[in-house]
A and B are shown apart, each in its own frame.
Chain A
Amino acid sequence: MESPDVFTLLPLEMNPTTKIITANPSSTALANELEALNALHKGLLNVGTPTGTPPPPVPVNPTRSAQIGKLRESGNAEFRKGNHAQAVKLYSLAIDMALGRPHWEPSGLVREEISGLLSNRAQANMAQQHWAEGAVDAEASVEMKKVGNAKGWWRRGTCLLEMGRLDEAEAWVKQGLEFEATEQDLVQLKQEIEKRKGGKAAH
Chain B
Amino acid sequence: MWPFDAVDWVMLTIPFAYITVLFGSLYTFSNIYRKRKVAKAAALEPWFPPHLQRNVYLSLLHMESPKCPDSILKAALLRRATEDIQRIIQIRSAKQALQVLLQRGSVGDDLWQRFQRAEKEIEEELRDVVNEANAFAPNWGQTIFQSASEMAQNNHIRERLSEILSTAQSEKEWWEKRKATIQSDFMKELDDEKAVKSPAESSYGGSVKGVKSMSDDDAVLVEAGGPAEKAAKAKKKKGKH
Name A residues whose Cβ lies closer than 8 Å to a Cβ of B.
Answer: 1-4, 7-10, 12, 14, 16, 19, 21, 29-30, 33-34, 36-37, 40-41, 44-45, 51-57, 79, 99, 101, 103-107, 110-111, 114, 123, 126-127, 129-133, 135-137, 139-140, 143-144, 151, 154, 158, 162-164, 185, 196, 199-200, 203
Q: Is the interface of A mostly helix, strand, loop or mixed?
A: helix
Query: Using a Cβ–Cβ cut-off of 8 Å, how many residues does chain B contribute to the interface with A?
Result: 76
Q: Are A123 and B237 in contact (CB under 8 A)?
A: yes
Q: Are B150 and A37 in contact (CB under 8 A)?
A: no
Bound together, the chains give a CA A52 to CA B172 distance in angstroms of: 44
**Across the interface, which residues of B come within 8 angstroms of A105, CB to CB?**
150, 154
Q: Are B150 and A107 in contact (CB under 8 A)?
A: yes
Q: Are B220 and A162 in contact (CB under 8 A)?
A: yes
Partner of A104, one of B42, B66, B150: B150
Q: Are B165 and A140 in contact (CB under 8 A)?
A: yes
Q: Are A199 and B172 in contact (CB under 8 A)?
A: no
Known contacts A30-B52, A37-B56, A127-B234; A56/B79 CB under 8 A: no
Bound together, the chains give a CA A91 to CA B216 distance in angstroms of: 33
Bound together, the chains give a CA A34 to CA B51 distance in angstroms of: 14
Q: Are A40 and B161 in contact (CB under 8 A)?
A: no
* B window 118-166: CB within 8 A of A: 118, 121, 124-125, 128, 133, 136-138, 140, 143-144, 146-148, 150-151, 153-158, 160-161, 164-165
Question: How many residue-residue contacts, CB under 8 A, span A and B?
Answer: 185
With A55-B143, A163-B178 given, name 17 new contacts (CB 8 A): A1-B121, A7-B55, A8-B59, A10-B59, A37-B75, A41-B72, A51-B138, A53-B144, A57-B143, A103-B150, A106-B150, A123-B238, A126-B234, A133-B168, A137-B165, A143-B161, A158-B230
Q: Tell which of B54, B157, B160 has the most Cβ of chain A within 10 Å.
A: B157
Bound together, the chains give a CA A137 to CA B164 distance in angstroms of: 8
Q: Are B146 and A57 in contact (CB under 8 A)?
A: yes
By beta carbon, the residue of chain A nearest B140 is A53
Give B171 Cβ to nearest chain A Cβ, in Å: 4
Enumerate the 7 nearest inter-chain pairs by beta-carbon distance, A residue then B residue, closest first: A107-B153, A51-B137, A132-B175, A41-B75, A104-B147, A56-B143, A132-B171
Known contacts A8-B50, A14-B63; A140/B72 CB under 8 A: no
By beta carbon, the residue of chain B nearest A10 is B59
Known contacts A14-B72, A107-B153; A99/B56 CB under 8 A: no
Q: Are A133 and B172 in contact (CB under 8 A)?
A: yes
Bound together, the chains give a CA A130 to CA B144 distance in angstroms of: 44
Bound together, the chains give a CA A83 to CA B191 distance in angstroms of: 36
Q: Are A3 and B160 in contact (CB under 8 A)?
A: no
Q: Does any Cβ of A come within 8 Å of B111's Cβ?
A: no
By beta carbon, the residue of chain A nearest B128 is A4
Q: Are A1 and B50 in contact (CB under 8 A)?
A: yes
Q: Are B161 and A99 in contact (CB under 8 A)?
A: yes
- Give 23 CB contacts A-B under 8 Å: A1-B46, A3-B42, A4-B121, A8-B59, A19-B71, A19-B72, A21-B60, A29-B52, A34-B56, A37-B56, A37-B76, A41-B71, A41-B75, A53-B74, A57-B147, A104-B78, A104-B154, A107-B153, A126-B234, A129-B227, A133-B168, A136-B164, A196-B216
